[in-house]
Amino acid sequence: MDLFERLRTGAEADWNRYARHPFTDAMADGSLPEPAFRSYLVQDYLFLIEFSRAYALAVYKSPTLADMREAAAGMSAILDVEMDLHVKLCGAWGLSPGMLEQTPAEPATLAYTRYVLDTGMRGDLLALKVALAPCVIGYAEIATRLAARPGATSPANPYRVWIEEYAGSAYQEVAASARAHLERLAERYMTPAREAELLTIFREASRLEADFWEMGWRAGRT
């Protein structure tokens, strides 16, 4: 198993709470309440702004030029791909970029982004990339699972654009590259003593991702 698989296996309960949250299944069958998705989209836009800063930090933390280029590519994927998706989706729901940026960040948004940045500031590049992994790699796995559900990508499903974007080849390549880079970092910096440290980081990041889904899930029921 590569490092990502070992971490996912070691954090199975927290990972499943995140990767199989009811919010995701409700996107697949189209039953997710509109307020839940709107709330998620707005907060995820704010989340991505902070995540791009985490990739900027990864450039600073990178010991090699190749690592710097990997981090820069990740930041570009956020700024030029994911955020464009959110602008497009939100525009269809009557939400402009200005409205998005003026919305206060919810506690769940702040908790995860601050955790990732703090982990990166205190640790090395490997620790930072482990903190990022549940989001970067996890979204690709979640979308692939959802896309395989009957009717998930049919025109009748209002959430098909989100599913198709993250299940599509462009984002799948981003996730595969992130996973491969994580493994290369592990080959350089991994020691038996670090496995427990990195598992703690991965488990906490997965828990905070689940809380992010839960935030949107609750918004659809208030």
Active site positions, annotated: 135, 209
Task: Please report the DSSP string for 128-195 in residue order.
Answer: HHHHHHHHHHHHHHHHHHHHTSTTTTSTT-TTHHHHHHHHSHHHHHHHHHHHHHHHHHHHHH--HHHH
Q: How far apart are CA 163 and CA 146, in angstroms?
A: 7
Task: Single out the residue of 32, 13, 11, 34 nearest to residue 23, CA to CA.
Answer: 32
**Calpha distance 30→158 (Å, rounded):** 6
Q: Is 112 helix (H, G, I), strand (E, B) or coil?
A: helix
- Interacting residues of 192 by C-beta distance below 8 A, sequence separation 6+: none
Residue 86: closest CA among 162, 147, 169: 162
